[in-house]
């Protein structure tokens, strides 16, 4: 159908092209635009089929995924790209290079280059394609929008800018607040007023790599509040992911290790397949990594992180829940709010998948919804405000 998100599949394996194509065709809202066996053919087909999103393998003959991304950038093609590739020896490093070259996100093929069990990642893949493809489609339809003083399109909804569409002021009482698009939200009064922000905890999933790159690149260099992050990501990737963020962030970013100090100006990223918790000790705050059972279907789990932050930091915490499928973090960010901490959620317009922040908002656990473009500024402003 004309309204379906069209997908260009780029993979050198005919079997993989067919299996991925079948998953797409069986997903309402998605349609296969075309298929290509390498990056060279993909570039030839793009002007003709005009896809909304591209699924890209990295290891292909003649023009591989990295070469395709370089050429895509050179030609000014901004169609979003989701990497679907197997882990090679340098898999994590190459994947992070792909993200740095403009790929939006990645999914690991479950069992090598030719994975006949590719159906196990269907939900993750199709959610990404709907999210990124839908975002691209909306941007294309707004190209003729009025231009603001910065020279950028100023998309409007109901007379207000996208950045402010779903924002609210912080709740100061238990009165109902009305925020579109999901009606009336019952807000519980916190146990105490917010204090000075001593830690920022961020939970994020599908759509996260692209979102975090944007947010971290915009953080203030003089932000003195430590940041701890759970990004759902396979083991083996978080080390390179942290290194890639460290290159663009004015603060120190590293993959968390057991006992790492939580200190001003440092960002710690949870390891893949390990929960991250915080603890205050006499000599200072540290992180702990555990292989305890999955929580909310994940390890690392955002709920585990938020629960420990609420316990040890109470009303001195800022919790942020961003794009992602499901509900991980939605429950326990409520504990941060209940203890008097501040809570932010990414808004629907800018989220690739409005799942985790939506559930948190509908539970009444999010005090303010913020666009991705404004998230870094809002985090810094709140963290620096004396209370």
Instruction: Return the active site residues.
Output: 205, 232, 328
Residue whose token pair is 């009444």: 364
Q: Is 321 helix (H, G, I), strand (E, B) or coil?
A: strand
Note whether 85 and 108 are within 8 A (CB): yes
Give the C-alpha separation, 336 to 322, whole Å.
15
Note whether 336 and 317 are within 8 A (CB): yes
Give the C-alpha separation, 320 to 331, whole Å.
13
Q: Is 65 helix (H, G, I), strand (E, B) or coil?
A: helix
For residue 386, give both structure tokens: 């004396």
DSSP label at residue 120: G
Residue whose token pair is 């002021």: 169
Whether omega for the bond prior to residue 181 falls within 30 degrees of 0, making it cis, is yes
């Amino acid at each position: 159908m004309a309204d379906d998100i069209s997908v260009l599949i780029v993979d050198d394996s005919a079997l993989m092209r067919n299996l991925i194509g079948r998953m797409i065709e069986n997903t309402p809202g998605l349609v296969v635009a075309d298929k290509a066996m390498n990056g060279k053919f993909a570039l030839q087909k793009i002007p003709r089929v005009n896809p909304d999103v591209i699924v890209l393998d990295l290891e292909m003959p003649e023009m591989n995924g990295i070469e395709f991304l370089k050429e895509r950038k050179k030609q000014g093609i901004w169609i979003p790209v989701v990497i679907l590739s197997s882990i090679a020896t340098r898999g994590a490093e190459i994947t992070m290079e792909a993200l740095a070259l403009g790929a939006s996100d990645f999914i690991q093929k479950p069992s090598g280059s030719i994975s006949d069990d590719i159906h196990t990642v269907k939900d993750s893949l199709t959610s990404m394609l709907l999210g990124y493809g839908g975002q691209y489609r909306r941007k294309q339809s707004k190209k003729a929008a009025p231009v603001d003083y910065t020279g950028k399109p100023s998309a409007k909804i109901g007379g207000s800018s996208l950045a402010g569409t779903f924002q609210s002021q912080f709740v100061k009482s238990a009165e109902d607040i009305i925020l579109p698009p999901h009606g009336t939200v019952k807000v519980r009064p916190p146990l105490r007023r917010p204090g000075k922000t001593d830690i920022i905890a961020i939970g994020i999933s599908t759509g996260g790599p692209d979102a975090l790159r944007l947010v971290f690149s915009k953080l203030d260099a003089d932000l003195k509040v430590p940041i701890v992050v759970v990004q759902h990501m396979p083991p083996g990737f978080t080390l390179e992911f942290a290194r890639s963020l460290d290159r663009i962030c004015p603060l120190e970013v590293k993959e968390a290790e057991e006992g790492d100090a939580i200190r001003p100006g440092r960002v710690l990223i949870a390891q893949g397949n390990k929960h991250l918790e915080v603890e205050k000790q006499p000599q200072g705050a540290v992180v702990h990594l555990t292989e305890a059972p999955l929580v909310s279907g994940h390890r690392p789990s955002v709920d585990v992180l938020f629960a420990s932050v609420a316990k040890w930091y109470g009303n001195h915490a800022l919790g942020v829940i961003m794009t992602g499928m499901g509900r991980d973090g939605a429950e326990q960010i409520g504990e941060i709010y209940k203890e008097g901490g501040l809570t932010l959620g990414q808004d629907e317009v800018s989220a690739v998948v409005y799942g985790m922040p939506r559930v948190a908002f509908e539970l009444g656990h999010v005090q303010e919804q913020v666009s991705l473009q404004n998230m870094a500024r809002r985090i810094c402003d709140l963290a620096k405000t004396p209370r």
